[in-house]
């Protein structure tokens, strides 16, 4: 069994869900074993990784509307606002969605469901690059 690790640098994205399955795959395809596990970890507290529907963009639209209504910017009782009105809401959203994913590898490919895609979920209006650590065991 081997363990590989690679840092994947992503460009800055607008607020919302961004399909990154192909970006992740292209960064690791040369080191994927026949069978194993891919662990993805995002090194930020105001963005998350999530698996979701990858075919119908209305899913992303509805997810954004739901989470932004559940945890709105400018919530008057938040005190952590040093970086703006989306600062504390982005940390809460990140904790709810999580910072990592584990995906099985089968026959040298990511074993995702037919309609599943890997998303970077950006919660900030302030755009900045994001870093993901990919660890492959297999």
CA–centroid distance for 43 within its chain: 10
What's the pTM? Answer: 0.95
Report d(CA 97, CA 31) in Å as an integer. 28
Taking a C-beta distance cutoff of 8 angstroms, is the pair 49, 121 a contact?
yes
The model's pLDDT over 33-90, given as tens digits with 9 standing for 90+, comes to: 999 999 999 999 999 999 999 999 999 999 999 999 999 999 999 999 989 999 999 9
Q: Which domains can be identified in the chain, with CATH numbers?
A: 3-137 (2.60.120.460)
The two structure tokens encoding residue 134: 């990919």
The confidence score (pLDDT) of residue 127 equals 87
DSSP 69-116: HHS-TT-TT----TT-TTHHHHHHHHHHH-SEEEEEEETTEE---TTE
């Amino acid at each position: 069994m081997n363990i590989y690790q690679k840092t994947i640098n992503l460009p800055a994205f607008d607020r919302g869900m961004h399909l990154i399955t192909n970006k992740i795959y292209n960064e690791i395809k040369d080191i994927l074993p026949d069978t194993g596990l891919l662990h993805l970890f995002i090194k930020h507290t105001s963005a998350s990784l999530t698996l979701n529907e990858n075919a119908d963009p209305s899913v992303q639209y509805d997810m954004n509307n739901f989470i932004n209504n559940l945890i709105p910017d400018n919530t008057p009782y938040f005190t952590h606002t040093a970086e703006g009105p989306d600062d504390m809401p982005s940390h809460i959203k990140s904790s709810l969605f999580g910072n990592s994913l584990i995906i099985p590898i089968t026959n040298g490919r990511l074993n995702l469901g037919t309609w599943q895609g890997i998303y970077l979920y950006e919660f900030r209006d302030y755009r900045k690059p994001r870093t993901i650590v990919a660890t492959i065991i297999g």
